[in-house]
Amino acid sequence: MSRFVRGDVILVSLRIAGAGPEKVRPALVVGAEGERLLVIPVSCTPSRDTPSVPLSLPDFSEGGLDIVRESFLLPAHAAWVFQRSVIGKKGRVTQEFLSRVAEDM
């Protein structure tokens, strides 16, 4: 059974768009398959050429991010990661927020 579930916001090392170095960043878990998690990376900068979903403290049902300003999910850069690569958990978003993300994907 998965330790992390849909709606969890985790910390994981990711490379956005397959370019540049990997960076430890928050990511939203949107699916799980065995030991792998489908995640959407979070960035402090919205994408210029693909849709971005705003994420702020009221979108969390528990926990949150360590920054005060708004962040952005980058659904076009969703990626599979292994659960063992997760560094930590930052919190969990509300069901309403998950529904909004599903509409934007």
Q: How confident is the model at residue 18 (pLDDT cuts 50, 70, 90)?
A: low
pTM above 0.85, yes or no: yes
pLDDT given for residue 103 in this prediction: 76
Indicate whether 9 pLDDT > 60.
yes
For domain 8-104, give the CATH number: 2.30.30.110
pLDDT given for residue 50 in this prediction: 86
pLDDT in tens, 21-41: 888 999 999 999 999 999 999
Q: Running DSSP on this structure, what letter comes out for residue 83?
A: G
CA 2 to CA 70: how far, in whole Å? 29
Query: Is-contact 67 34, C-beta < 8 A?
Result: no
Angle at 83 between CA 104 and CA 16, to 5 degrees: 50
Query: Is-contact 35 4, C-beta < 8 A?
Result: no
pLDDT given for residue 102 in this prediction: 82
pLDDT in tens, 35-68: 999 999 999 888 888 889 999 999 999 999 987 7
Would you kindly state where each structural domain of the chain is located, as residue ranges? Answer: 8-104
For 15-59, give the DSSP string. -GGG-S--EEEEEEEEEEETTEEEEEEEESS--SSS--EEE-GGG
- Cβ contacts of 63 within 8 Å, gap of 6 or more: 9, 89, 90, 91, 92
